[in-house]
Amino acid sequence: MGINQAIYVASEAVLALQSKFREKTAQVGVMGMGYVGLPLALLFARRGFRATGFDIDSAKVEKLQRGESYISHIPGSTIAEQLAQKHFRATCDFAALREMDALLICVPTPLDYHREPDLSFVRDTVEAITPHLRRGQLVVLESTTYPGTTEEVVLPILERSGLRCSVLPYATDGCTLQAEECGETDFLLAFSPEREDPGNKQFQTHQIPKVIGGVNASSALAAQALYGQAFERTLLVSSTRAAEMTKILENTYRCVNIALVNELKLLCLRMGIDIWEVIEAAKTKPFGFTPFYPGPGLGGHCIPIDPFYLTWKAREYEFPTRFIELAGEINSAMPEHVVAAVAEVLNQRKQCMQDAKILVLGVAYKKDIDDLRESPSLRIIELLQARGARVGYHDPYFPRLHKMRKYDLGLVAVEPTAQALEGFDAVVIATDHSSYDYPFIVRHARLVVDTRNATRDVREHREKIVRC
Catalytic residues: 302
CA distance 116 to 331: 17
Give the span between the Cα atoms of 120 and 157, in whole angstroms.
Answer: 13
Amino acid identity, position 129:
I
Across 26-137, the runs of DSSP E, i.e. the strands, are 27-31, 50-54, 88-91, 102-105
How far does the chain reach from its first CA to its final CA, in angstroms? 61
DSSP-derived 3-state class of residue 280 = helix
In sequence order, what DSSP letters do the residues of 20-53 get, joined into one string? HHHHT-SEEEEE--STTHHHHHHHHHHTT-EEEE
- Confirm if 157 and 166 have CB atoms less than 8 A apart: no
Element (H, E) at 188: strand 188-191
Half-sphere exposure for 286 (CA within 13 Å, toward CB): 0
CA distances in angstroms from 175 to 22, 138, 172, 193, 238, listed in the order given: 17, 19, 7, 17, 11
Do residues 74 and 88 make contact, with C-beta atoms less than 8 angstroms apart?
A: no
H or E element: which one contains 276?
Answer: helix 275-282
From CA 34, how far away is CA 109, in angstroms rounded? 12
Percent of the chain as helix, strand, coil, to the nearest 5: 40, 15, 45
**Measured distance CA(142)–CA(150) in Å, rounded:** 10
* 196 C-beta neighbours (distance < 10 Å), count: 21
Query: How wide is the angle at C-alpha 180 spanned by C-alphas 179 and 185, nearest 5°?
Result: 75
Neighbour tally for 131: CB within 10 Å: 12
Q: Are 220 and 190 in contact (CB under 8 A)?
A: yes
Characterize the bridge pairing of strands 177-178 and 171-172: antiparallel
Pairing mode, if any, of strands 27-31 and 102-105?
A: parallel
